[in-house]
Each structure stands twice: as structure tokens, then as C-alpha cells.
Amino acid sequence: MELTVNGKRRTVTDGATITTLLEELQINPLRVAVQLNQQIIKRDLHEGTPLRAGDVLEVITFMAGGSS
């Protein structure tokens, strides 16, 4: 099935969850926030949140930094 991840079309297997998508993308789930169809999904729900054809996801990476 096809989804949009950070503005790019991506094909994932049927039955994929947010967790499986992050694994495919080799992204550490502790370092990102995931927005699914304009709604932030809590990290503890990633494993049980199925993805559907046409979903739009934004994977937001946390950046370290500070003021100087």
C-alpha cells in the first residue's frame, strides 16, 4: 500500500504499523515524534497503530541544541 511520509510517496506492506515503518526507515523511535493524518500519535501507541493506504505521516526528528 502507498502512504506519504515526510512529503514523499512510500510503499509499505499491508498490515504495517508505525513501529514497522520506523524499523524499515531505520529510525530510532525514541528520537522522533510521529504525526499521522495531522494527529500526533503517542509513542506507546506506535506498535498498535495500523497504517492504511493514503495515510500521511510526518516523522519529526528531535535535534539537540541550545543557546550560545
CATH number at residue 16: 3.10.20.30
Task: Report pTM.
Answer: 0.87
Cα–Cα nearest to 7, from 58, 60, 62, 61? 58
Is residue 67 assigned to a domain? no
| pLDDT at 57 (0 to 100) | 98
Rounded to whole angstroms, what are the CA distances from 4 to 41, 42, 45, 55, 67?
16, 19, 20, 6, 34
Provide the domain count of the chain. 1
* Rounded Cα gap, residues 33 and 61, in angstroms: 7
The pLDDT value recorded for residue 21 is: 96
21, burial (CB in 10 Å: exposed 0-12, middle 13-18, buried 19+):
buried
Q: For each of the chain's 68 residues, which pLDDT tens digit applies?
A: 999 999 999 999 999 999 999 999 999 999 999 999 999 999 999 999 999 999 999 999 877 666 65
Boundaries of domain holding 17: 2-61
> What pLDDT does 17 receive?
98
pLDDT of residue 63: 72
